[in-house]
Amino acid sequence: MERKIVTLGADKYYVDIEQDALIKVNNPTEIRRFSEIDYTDEGYIVDGHHLPHLVRIDPEGMAAKYGVPIGDIQAKTDYDIIVNHDLVERRIRLGAQPILDISGHDFFVNLNAGYLEPKGVFTTRGISLDNIDNQENGDGTAHAFCYNPKTFTDQYVDERTLIDVPKDVVLIEIPFFWKLDPYGWSREHHVDLKEAFRQLPPQEKFVARMVPWEEIGLQEIIDENRKRLKLPPMDITAKLESLRKKEEKKYEKTKRKGKRP
């Protein structure tokens, strides 16, 4: 399906429905995502320019993506089409919290309490949001931190002291808090709910990404620390592979049984 083109000031952009973004015609690397564009009842405000709802610009594309009959779409707004209204109702009226799967265990996302709370576990409050708030991955697109599956908590690891693979912890990435729970975040920061939900439609469940230790250069970190401490070198390749297989096996077993580790 051919993408529509809109003009904003002196620039022309493709309207990419699948990516939910504007892509500059003469510079495809310049992408404006609608999750970062101001939304109103009349449409969008892009650098001071008004842009109609996408259902007006490309009704066929929106109908195809969201499974809405083309005859119904013109009477609706982008908010009507994109946002799961049943999920919004459960979140706002019933207080149903988003779920985050971390290493095979479900956590409730509770921004108000300041914790990711492990479901069915009463020996700990879980993962403190204050502890991980300033911990991000290398490109600043998500929170990244060490997690202990045995205690269901975050665990601080000082890379300056590492001389071996960290014990009992895995490295994970999770979406930023405002992505996990746009309702809770918007209420706390006094952001318009309709705009927040259009930019980031609420989701019922997320899955944390397990980050391979190789991705952060763990071998190099250990090499440097062992050299500084005058310890013999240690190749952690085999150990990492063993740990990875063990974690994958445990995760699959947990999912098949529908129980936590």
* pLDDT at residue 260 is higher than 60: no
The C-alpha atoms of residue 93 and residue 165 are separated, in whole angstroms, by 45
Of 82, 112, 129, the one marking the end of a domain is 82
How high is the pLDDT of residue 138? 87
Considering the entire predicted model, what is its pTM?
Answer: 0.85
Q: Do 123 and 243 share a domain, yes or no?
A: yes
| Nearest one of 142, 126, 17, 156 to 78, comparing CA atoms | 17
The C-alpha atoms of residue 50 and residue 218 are separated, in whole angstroms, by 48
Ordered DSSP codes for 194-216: HHHHHHS---SEEEPEEPPGGGG
Can you give the length of the chain in residues? 261
Q: Do 69 and 177 share a domain, yes or no?
A: no
In which band, very low, low, confident or very high, does the pLDDT at 22 lie, cut at 50, 70 and 90? Answer: very high
57 φ/ψ angles, rounded to the nearest 5 degrees: -75, -45
Q: Do 141 and 200 share a domain, yes or no?
A: yes
Number of Cβ atoms within 10 Å of the Cβ of 192: 13
The token duo for 11 is 């620039």
Q: Do 21 and 140 share a domain, yes or no?
A: no
Q: Do 29 and 145 share a domain, yes or no?
A: no
How high is the pLDDT of residue 261? 42
Q: Do 236 and 139 share a domain, yes or no?
A: yes
pLDDT tens track for 193-225? 999 999 999 999 999 999 999 999 999 999 999
Q: Do 175 and 251 share a domain, yes or no?
A: yes
* pLDDT at residue 243 is higher than 90: no
| Nearest one of 40, 21, 41 to 32, comparing CA atoms | 21
Contact between 96 and 118 (Cβ < 8 Å)? no
Ordered DSSP codes for 122-150: -S---EEHHHHTT-B-TTSSSEEEEEETT
Domain limits at 56? 4-82
Q: Do 60 and 170 share a domain, yes or no?
A: no
194 φ/ψ angles, rounded to the nearest 5 degrees: -65, -40
Of 48, 82, 116, the one marking the end of a domain is 82
pLDDT tens track for 31-86? 999 999 999 999 999 999 999 999 999 999 999 999 999 998 988 999 999 999 99
pLDDT tens track for 85-131? 999 999 999 999 999 999 999 999 999 999 999 999 999 999 999 99
| Nearest one of 192, 169, 198 to 66, comparing CA atoms | 198
Q: Do 116 and 189 share a domain, yes or no?
A: yes
Looking at the structure of the chain, the number of domains it has is 2
Q: Do 78 and 91 share a domain, yes or no?
A: no
| Nearest one of 232, 247, 246, 240 to 216, comparing CA atoms | 240
How high is the pLDDT of residue 122? 93
